Structure 1
């Protein structure tokens, strides 16, 4: 019968496109990778790769096996994470990391309830971009991330949507765009765009690059300040922009397509190693629908 290691080699070969590339990623000799694939084909009584070309390609049997292999590997990883969590037990410290664009007041309101149920847990609050929080969770920290939804979430994280926050396009009152109605998106390409990206230079999936002239920041308050100084236009959470709009320093971008902003989902992320623990379950419950 096939093994977890054989399935991992199979999946890695598909992802990397060749046996040699899979060997490099897995830090194994190419002969070992090739033998695992041969053994898997023998166990399945089917040819999984067409080897006639320069690079191996999946046969029909390989394509049929792939989703089942991926599902099994994910479940195996979840099992390992759960076992590790059982050994650790309840943490003595719980970190809550949230994107700077998410109002902290809403989070602070629930901490009293959490500490009533778990009085001996020390809470630590962190602030970072959504993508940086995802990176922080790689280290299996006892951490709950509260982020704006991303299209790609690592398979070792559990997540759920707990609400949404309104975003709109804004520009300083003094900026040339504030005195004209943009007929279409091409007008925006003529002016500098202010955009969020993580500390490792990755951009959020909903921070779409429209203009070729860009200026980056890693949080929305820096983005707001750049906009107020007339450096360009940007997408901001409405609650962050409201005070500057009310004071007349910032305006919602006048544009013929009036609803270019959108509701961004807010997700709660937890590593599989911790998500089944009572304190993490309770925190998820408290966070549901507070936005």
Structure 2
């Protein structure tokens, strides 16, 4: 009979690349992890990994079973979170983490409505990069996050898209690129790029590394200051750049391809342990009006 432990060992081995790394990831000794996989192979009557090389490699049978194992583990996690929520009362304090690159002019009205409905709840607001906010949600430092969409979101988080923010490429008005029209993206490789990354040095899935010379910051307003001082070019949310563009200190990068910026989707993230509770549903519904 298959067990959750067997599936966890199977998926962890694929994701980490070896039996020993999977054991470390699961907090078990390697012999236990290896035995779980052997037992799973016996139960499936099939070999899931070839073991002839230095690292285990999925067989064709293993490749077919992997997505089903991942789906079962995801559903198992959701079941555990749903069971936890049955006896878990709404917390007295809700921490909302926000990416600074998202406009929040309407946040005051949203929070006022939440306060009227739940006057006894204490609210805390944190600001961080989107990737840092995902980490905060993972360890309950935050209970709701408003972030730019990432390609990979942990299975234990529920999410919905509430809109999008327009980004464009910007430089200081005295930067060398201000006096020429870039014909293609290769022209940008010759100049320093300024880029957002998290405090654990991860970069967003939509923040492309183009130049070999890169400086980093963990929020868009610091990135703006670096751009204004002429330290490089960068991608900024338009609302962050508006004031500097209006006073002439910042300009959109002159481009032959006029639209090299893009729209970044904005998501509301909540842990599965809380997302079905009334207060979190109300908050999620209010945040739909943010953009």
Specify if TM > 0.5.
Answer: yes
Structure 1 residue aligned with 2:55: 55
Q: Which moved more, 1:44-53 or 1:165-174?
A: 44-53
SS at match of 1:105: coil
Residue in 2 that maps onto 1:83: 83
Q: What residue in structure 1 maps to residue 15 of structure 2?
A: 15
Question: Which has the larger displacement, 54-63 or 121-130?
Answer: 54-63
In 2 relative to 1, CA 14–92 (structure 1 residues): closer, same or farther, beyond 3 Å?
same
CA contact (8 A) 2:168 2:238 kept: yes
1:142–1:274 Cα contact (<8 Å) kept: no
Partner residue of 2:149? 149
**Alignment CA distance shift 1:193-1:18 (3 Å):** closer
Alignment pair present for 1:35 and 2:51? no
Stretches of structure 1 that go unaligned for 5 or more consecutive residues are none
**Alpha-carbon distance in 1 for matches of 2:142, 2:21:** 34
- SS of the aligned residue for 1:189 comes to helix
Counterpart for residue 111 of structure 1: 111
How far off is 1:142 after superposition? 5.3
SS in 2 for 1:194: strand
Cα pair 2:245 2:251 within 8 Å, conserved: yes
Q: Deviations along 1:159-189, whole A, 9 cap, x unmatched? A: 1110001111111111111121111212211
TM-score for the superposition, normalised by structure 2: 0.94
**Which residue of 2 is the match for residue 223 of structure 1?**
223
How far the C-alpha of 1:26 sits from its partner, in A, is 2.5
CA contact (8 A) 1:91 1:142 kept: no
Q: Judge which range, 91-100 or 78-87, deviates more.
A: 78-87
Query: Does the Cα contact within 8 Å between 1:140 and 1:273 map onto a contact in 2?
Result: no
Distance 1:158 1:259 in 2: 32
Does 1:140 find its partner at 2:143? no
Show structure 2 runs of 5+ residues with no match: none
**3-state SS of paired residue (1:211):** coil
**Hey, what does 1:199 align to over in structure 2?**
199
The equivalent residue for 1:239 is 239
Deviation string 1:201-259 (CA, Å, 9 cap, x unpaired) is 11111111111122211111111111111111111111111111111111111110110
CA contact (8 A) 2:168 2:237 kept: yes
* Structure 1 contact 245–251 (Cα < 8 Å) conserved: yes
1:276 is matched with 276
Q: In 1, distance between residues paired with 2:181 and 2:271?
A: 46
The 3 A distance-change label for structure 1 pair 212 and 48 is: closer
**Counterparts in 2 of 1:119 and 1:3: CA distance versus 1, 3 Å:** same
- Assess, with a 3 A threshold, how the Cα gap between structure 1 residues 257 and 64 changes in structure 2: closer, same or farther: same
1:118-167: CA deviations, max 9, x gaps? Answer: 12111111111111111111113452100111111111111111000111
Which range is displaced more, 69-78 or 11-20? 11-20
